[in-house]
Amino acid sequence: MRRGSLYLEAAPPLAPGPFNFSSWLADGIARPTVRASWLMVLTMFGGCVALDGEYACEASAADRALSATIFAATQTWLDNGRIKSHPIRVLDDSCAGVIQGVDIIRTGAISGQKLVVRVD
């Protein structure tokens, strides 16, 4: 998977068969264990995807319900210490911090951390 892609594991934990995969861009993923679903990351909030062509989709109550289940399970696992988030790296709270973060990602100078910039 190329750097910068966004993904969401949407299969139930330890489920047999292919995993569901969501991405902002169709990167030509070709793996027998991955089933592509390109814009669930937008329909998971209950709205439609108002884009042209193949990217347009109607609102999906099923995507919304599935994402609520995934978020609830993930929060429980975090609370119980079964999974841990990456450590955060807080940048300056400004537009300069956003630019710095983009540069860090672009150069590949970060691994295993979340970049955080608080913008009001």
Q: What is the overall mean pLDDT for the chain?
A: 75
Q: How many domains does the chain have?
A: 2
Handedness of CA 89, 92, 97, 98 (dihedral sign): positive
Residue 31: strand, helix, or coil: coil
Question: What digits encode the pLDDT tens for the residues 75-91?
Answer: 999 999 999 888 999 99
93 and 37 share one domain: no
Measured between alpha carbons, how far is residue 23 from residues 26, 49, 91 in Å? 7, 14, 26
What tokens does 27 get? 């990167």
Q: What does the DSSP 8-state code read for residue 86?
A: P
Instruction: Note down the domain range covering 21.
Output: 1-83
What tokens does 32 get? 């027998």
45 and 1 share one domain: yes
44 and 8 share one domain: yes
Question: What digits encode the pLDDT tens for the residues 42-72?
Answer: 788 888 888 777 777 888 898 889 889 989 9
Q: Is the pLDDT of residue 3 over 60?
A: no
Q: Which of 26-30, 63-67, 108-112 has the lowest mean pLDDT?
A: 26-30
